[in-house]
Structure 1
Amino acid sequence: MAENSKPPVLEPFQQSAPLTLGVELELQLVNTHDYDLAPYSDEMLRLMKRYELPGSVVPEMTSSMIEISTGVCRDTAQVLQELRQIRDALVKCADKLNIDVVGGGTHPYQQWHEQRIYDRPRFRQLSELYGYLSKQFTIFGQHVHIGCPDADAALLMLHRMSRYIPHFIALSASSPFVQGQDTQFDSARLNSVFAFPMSGRAPFTLSWEQFGEFFAKTTRTGVIKSMKDFYWDIRPKPEYGTIEIRVFDTPLTIERACALSGFVQALASWFMNEQPFMPQEDDYMVYTYNRFQACRFGLDAVYVEPATGEHVSLREHIVQTADRIRPHAEKLGAAAGLAMLAEDAAGGRNDARWLRELQNRERLLAEVVRRAALRFRDG
């Protein structure tokens, strides 16, 4: 760091309405002859400018990716309305370019070395720093923001929510295939995220003042320049007044993305209104194990209760959690989506299973991508 340059400063935590939602989806652009990734993000962005839409549509790390996001939403009905509106415009633009838009956490057979870094200063800097990892970051996730009343409440929410990271991973898992191979993981996407040095969990602090001290120490090293450099599973977003949950694979349908955001909102309401438990540093003793189990086995994972060390079925824990937070989901208008997720958990169904079963029948990954593109249009 140059002598005269000022170290980055952690910006103040902005006010936001508690329990408001924001949803981001990273999506695949594929051609329609072999359904491999297609570098058409510039053309898509140019066509999308013709539409007046909520939220935003922006490029991502490589040029076969595009990210859509809602505005600030009060409930899942608004999330669904906004995502559908953006999705419908995306599909119309894709049709003009003779390409398709697809959900899912990974493209099943794209070759990372063929991807192009999108020409934007931050993406170029990341490519120079991380080398081939930047192109391997052609993976696709859903991020959910939840509004928090203040900074300390956000940190409390973050660490409470961390107990449910395996639930989020297993319910959203949609990345079983990488480079043409079945990885035997339900969510192989997160293995690419884990390669980055600032991934994993946030430091355990329940005070924004202490978090500011941590931020100051890390920025003094020059390793971190802003909050964007933390690739944590959940991170605070002070500029929005939210916490951002980043472990979801992009689902194959808009409806599932909406249901997952409702699950987060109902959990957050339960935390804020009932204060069910206080998070502890010791919760993180089983964090990495639980996260691995969910990535590898999805809904068949084992979940270790952080408080007791008891080993339970993750799918059963999801069903029990859904039952516990149902009154909050009902008040928020998220009950139908939560019920769908609980039913899928009980039956061991997620998008990874759908993709595998389709590949077992068709024996052609290009057909799997084609059918996934149809699901995205309709779902």
Structure 2
Amino acid sequence: MTHETTEIQSPSAGSGLGEFASSQALTLGVELELQLLNTHHYDLTPYAPDMLALLKNTPVPGSIVPEVTASMIEISTGICTDAQDAYQQLAVTRDALVKAADRLNIAIAGGGTHPFQQWHQQRIYDKPRFKEVTALYGYLTKQFTIFGQHVHVGCPDADAALMMLHRLSRYIPHFIALSASSPFVQGQDTAFDSARLNSVFAFPLSGRAPFALHWEDFERYFDKMAATGVIQSMKDFYWDIRPKPEFGTVEVRVFDTPLSIERAAQLAAYVQALGAWFLSENPFEPSEDDYLVYTYNRFQACRFGLEGSYVDPVSSEQSVLREHIALTLERITPYVTAQSRPALQQLRNSLNLGGNDASWLRACYADAQQLPEVVRQAALRFRGAQP
């Protein structure tokens, strides 16, 4: 699945909304933003140009592209049918990355933030568009040296995409808590499981999408925004979930990059199973009232992870996120494909055992008491050398 090379765009980028493309329902695409690390001290290192040059002729299922700062790199799958397919594609690309990194004597890791990098030391990748972005956003551009996973899910038509978007919005806290892998920033434990999203929220037009259930209404909203000169294309919206008309998908954007590609495939499986449930049963009708507790639920997931509170937007009942996720996993089990079932079972097991990646990172620090060692362990986990 093709994708953008960065999630920070200038208002002059893009070419309008365009038609909603035809897409096979419930197909998947996965993007991962990854850390490039110096193997002496495990700080970030600006080796993206070297990596891309080395990998230029390496065949991979999707693509490998630069990100806004030179210590980052982004990989994507092609179009995937299920979680197993996504994992296999990611594994091919992961192995190619690790091989190239070994040749350059650097390492690669997941995680939503690097635990101790200093934003002012980062270098903007040498592309004119990235320099334009820096001129617009100033220091925020370098502070955007954070790392996320995006999951695209195919939708049969434009109206179905908007319905999918608003139904998935109820589960944004699930996605945040399950993927949270950014407890450390600038050498400090932030007390957040996902501190990464605090940086995303600093950008204009972040947060939630407007409430529209028909594509004509969404087009009118887009045209009004474009008329103000604030936006030029969908790339200018930094919403938690957004439609991608050119792909025929809805893109979920709140995941921290996991520490392993296994976890990345599990998260994609969860999105796909939820989507299958929605398309099969139409289990609830979205409404604007769904968003009354949206920001609160999102904050709880970022701050407390799986132990955060979840307020049901309809009943106003409160529960622990871990419990709400467990009930949801049980509810969607009939809609999980055979090829995605192992990934969902692994996700369920990790939920029962008490951990997201933020917990793993904190446990690693409690044992090592040195953040460079935590990063080294995370790099081993990404390459498949750690459980």
Q: Corresponding residue for 1:364?
A: 370
Q: Does residue 257 in structure 1 map to residue 257 in structure 2?
A: no
| 8 A Cα contact 1:259 1:337, kept in partner | yes
**Alpha-carbon separation, structure 2, partners of 1:306 and 1:120:** 44
| CA positional deviation for 1:131 | 0.7
Alpha-carbon distance in 1 for matches of 2:130, 2:79: 26
What residue in structure 1 maps to residue 77 of structure 2?
Answer: 70
Q: Deviations over 1:301-330 (max 9, x none)?
A: 00000111111111000000000101111x
Distance in 1 of aligned mates of 2:142 and 2:366: 29
Report the CA distance between 1:32 and its aligned residue.
0.3
1:31 has 2:76 as partner: no
* TM-score normalised over the length of structure 2: 0.95
Q: Tell me the secondary structure at the aligned position of residue 34 of structure 2.
A: strand
Deviates more, 1:255-264 or 1:338-347: 338-347
* Contact 1:28–1:102 (Cα < 8 Å) also in 2: yes
SS at match of 1:244: strand
Deviations 1:97-147 (A, max 9, x none): 100000000000000000011122332222111110000000000000000
Following superposition, the deviation at residue 89 of structure 1 comes to: 0.3
CA distance in 2, matches of 1:160, 1:224: 25
Report the equivalent of 2:161. 154
Alignment-derived partner of residue 178 in structure 1: 185
2:150 aligned to 140, 143, 147, which one? 143
C-alpha contact 1:200 1:233 (8 A) present in aligned 2: yes
Q: Is the 8 A contact 2:266 2:347 kept in 1?
A: yes
> Who is 2:345 aligned against?
339
Separation in structure 1 between the aligned mates of residue 293 and residue 67 of structure 2, nearest angstrom: 32
Aligned-partner Cα distance in 2 for 1:372–1:221? 44
Letter in 2 for 1:283: D
Identity of aligned residues (%): 66
TM-score w.r.t. the length of structure 1 is 0.97
What is the deviation of 1:8? Answer: 5.2
8 A Cα contact 1:316 1:346, kept in partner = no
* Distance of 1:238 and 1:128 partners within structure 2: 28
Q: Which amino acid aligns with 1:349?
A: G
Does structure 2 conserve the Cα–Cα contact (< 8 Å) formed by 1:73 and 1:79? Answer: yes
Tell me, yes or no, if the aligned pair for 2:16 and 2:234 is still in contact at 8 Å. no
Match of 1:291 in 2: 298
Indicate conservation of the 8 Å contact 1:266/1:332, yes or no. no
Instruction: Pick the aligned partner of 2:323 from 293, 316, 319.
Output: 316
Give the one of 48, 61, 81 matched to 2:55.
48
Asked if 1:354 is matched to 2:360, the reply is: yes
Whether the 8 Å CA contact 1:169–1:249 is kept in 2: the answer is yes
1:98-247 to structure 2, matched below 5 A, reads 98-247=105-254
List per-residue Cα deviations over 1:54-104 (Å, max 9, x = no partner).
100000010000000000011111111110000000000000110000000
SS of 1:236's equivalent?
A: strand
Q: Which region of structure 1 is more displaced relative to structure 2, 156-165 or 72-81?
A: 72-81
Q: Distance in 2 between matches of 1:8 and 1:65?
A: 26
Q: Specify the SS of the correspondent of 2:159.
A: helix
CA separation in 1, counterparts of 2:84 and 2:127? 34
Tell me the CA shift for residue 361 of structure 1: 1.0
RMSD between aligned residues = 1.2
Q: Which residue of 1 aligns with 2:6?
A: none
Alpha-carbon contact 2:113-2:184 (below 8 Å) kept: yes
**Take 2:248 and 2:128, find their aligned partners in 1: how far apart are those partners?**
26
Aligned to 2:8: none
Mapped to 2, the partners of 1:194 and 1:314 lie a distance apart of 22
Q: Structure 2: which amino acid aligns with 1:76?
A: A
Aligned position for 2:98: 91
**2:347 aligned partner, one-letter code:** L
| Alignment partner, residue 5 of structure 2 | none
Q: CA deviation at 1:52?
A: 1.0
Deviating beyond 4 angstroms after TM superposition, the runs of 4 or more aligned structure 1 residues are none
Do 2:51 and 2:101's aligned partners in 1 also have CA atoms closer than 8 Å? yes
Unaligned segments of structure 2, at least 5 residues: 1-11
The residue aligned with 1:79 is 86
Cross-structure match for 2:308: 301
- Partner of 2:285, secondary structure, is coil
Equivalent position of 2:288 in the other structure: 281
Unaligned runs of 5+ residues in structure 1 are none
Structure 2: distance between partners of 1:50 and 1:361: 41
1:63 and 1:160 mapped to 2: Cα distance? Answer: 36
Q: How many aligned residue pairs are there?
A: 373
Q: Structure 1 residues 54 and 8, CA, compared in 2 at 3 Å: closer, same or farther?
A: closer
One-letter code aligned to 2:148: G
Give, in angstroms, the shift of residue 343 of structure 1.
2.4
Mapped partners of 1:369, 1:38: distance in 2: 13
How far apart are the structure 2 equivalents of 1:105 and 1:308? 33
Provide the rounded CA distance (Å) in 2 between the counterparts of 1:75 and 1:8: 31
CA distance in 2, matches of 1:229, 1:70: 23
CA distance in 2 between partners of 1:108 and 1:19 (Å): 35
